[in-house]
Amino acid sequence: MWTEAGRTDGHFIGLMSGTSLDGVDGVLLHTAAGAAPRVLAHAARPFPDALRQELLALNSSGPDEIHRGAVAAQQLAELYAAVVADLLRASGLPASAIRAVGAHGQTVRHRPERGYTVQLNAPALLAERCGMTVVADFRSRDVAAGGQGAPLVPAFHRAVFADPGADVAVLNLGGFANLSLLFADGRTLGFDTGPGNVLLDHWAQQHLGQPFDAQGAWAAGGAVLPDLLRVCLADPYFARPAPKSTGRDAFHADWLSRQLARLPQPPAPQDVQATLAALTAQSVAEALQRAMPGVSRLLVCGGGARNADLLRRLQAALGAVPCSLSDTQGIPAEQVEAAAFAWLAQQTLHGLPGNLPAVTGAAGPRVLGAIYPA
């Protein structure tokens, strides 16, 4: 479904580097009145290891972090510019054909309860490097209006995935998991359910020496530890009502260590991985069943959508509710979030709201983002 919010034609680029810290995804999106947006090109570049480690470190207070954050933001902008160049090469379009680039930035702190959220970015540098208008800083206006600043993708999900005859849910499985609830009556809700890949990736890096557990193969061979799953699910975040959002400020390596310390003896690492996969699947399924008991189907996107073990556990937890990838609706799973920020850049450029107050808790609809002209 495509709504009138996308009433203007144009080419927009969306750039996303999420909490999984694996790299940058870029999408070149074409929008036209009355038609669904089309992805014309997709490009991705991994983070250099030093940048990834620095971005992870900047999630916590440390020495000289203002300088380090500024340098990391410049490095990120250079990587963004490289992805933009890749998209232009892939599509054959000149820079002059792009109306705007939506650059989310890298979240290093998310504290809406304290009135702030921080995404590292250097949008002025990106505009210089690309010769294009850049839209950035999407979340802070919603936070200023009393909202969570997240999730912002439900408005895009409504535009492209809603079915007027059914209650449809969309799950983004990034470092953290968030749900968009697209009700048949036109209502849209959404919130972060909790950890997606973040703890799974951390544990795989610590025990496998790999950036992630490919296809969830290691987790699939482990046994779920009921006591560990119980203490993890007892975290107050899971029972908190929406609107709500979370991040590495709440769920991180020390949080996991505290849960493990509550067990009578150290568990086998593979069983911990299986339990963390069960934590993601069960927290998503329970949240969905509470918030949308009449859900007809679940679409899954994000990097975690390629984790076969996690998808199997999620389907088992959902029972009869069918679970499929967003690929079946025309946008591959790893492209959806970048496409959303291309769409949000379009909203900003045309003075249209990008947030949904029912999702974020903001005082009202707000035009999001700051514009850096070409």
Residues 95-106 pLDDT 10s? 999 999 999 999
Q: How is residue 303 written in tokens?
A: 């990097």
C-alpha pair distances (Å), 92 with each of 131, 138, 277: 16, 28, 41
Q: How far apart are the first and last CA of the chain?
A: 32
Q: Which residues lie closer than 8 Å to 286 by C-beta, 6 or more apart? A: 238, 317
Residue 6: predicted pLDDT: 40
| 154-329 shares the fold of 4-151+334-372 | yes
Say if CB 337 and CB 18 are below 8 A apart: yes
From the options 3.40.190.10, 3.30.420.40, 2.30.330.10, 3.40.50.300, give the CATH code of 154-329.
3.30.420.40
Range 327-340 burial, b when 16+ CB lie within 10 A, else e: bebebbbbbbbbbb
Mark the ranges of the chain whose per-residue pLDDT is less than 70. Answer: 1-8
Q: For position 8, what pLDDT does the model report?
A: 58
Taking the domains of the chain in order of start, what are their residue ranges?
4-151+334-372, 154-329
**CATH code for the domain defined by 4-151+334-372:** 3.30.420.40
Amino acid at 263: L
pLDDT reported for residue 37:
87
Which pLDDT belongs to residue 4? 40
β-pairing, 168-173 vs 297-301, is parallel
pLDDT at residue 250, rounded to an integer: 95
Query: Would you list the DSSP string of 68-88?
Result: HHHHHHHHHHHHHHHHHHHHH
Q: What is the pLDDT of residues 179-199, one digit of tens each?
A: 999 999 999 999 999 999 999
Name which of 194, 219, 214, 209 is nearest 269 in CA terms.
219
In this structure, how many other beta carbons lie within 10 angstroms of the beta carbon of residue 360?
28
Q: Where are the beta strands (DSSP E) in 47-187?
A: 98-103, 106-111, 116-120, 134-136, 168-173, 176-182
User: Can you state the angle between helices 226-233 and 253-261, rounded to 10 degrees?
Assistant: 130
Burial class (CB in 10 A: 0-12, 13-18, 19+), 54: buried
Closest by Cα among 170, 79, 177, 66 to 126: 79
